[in-house]
Amino acid sequence: QVQLVESGGGLVQAGGSLRLSCAASGRTFSIYAMGWFRQAPGKERQFVAAISSSGDRSYADSVKGRFTISRDNVKNTVYLQMNSLKPEDTAVYYCAADISVARVFKTPNYWGQGTQVTVSS
């Protein structure tokens, strides 16, 4: 099994930046595709970004050009660098993992507990 722990959330003003981290357990981290999702109160969960085991990246249109997903297989960690933040980015952000990007998009097998990101106007 894989356990995921997010960190780095907090309060930031519109236009600011924040970097989220997701630390994974186990020595098989490098074979997994990783993703970030977010959910605001009263809203459905949204896909944000994903990265394959080989480093190929995918982004939701709403964050393209502002957010960057990356991974460090030595540290077993995936990151989400968020720039030019907007109030509509406010949500709980969740880290997810599965063995392919397609499976991350659909129903990831592993989830973290989330970290709150609040963007003030």
C-alpha separations of 99 from 17, 44, 67, 78 in Å: 30, 24, 23, 15
CA-based radius of gyration for the chain: 13
Distance CA 1, CA 92 (A): 23
* pLDDT (0 to 100) of residue 63: 98
* pLDDT (0 to 100) of residue 1: 77
* pLDDT (0 to 100) of residue 60: 97
Kindly give the parts of the chain with pLDDT less than 50. Answer: none
Percent above pLDDT 90 for the chain: 90
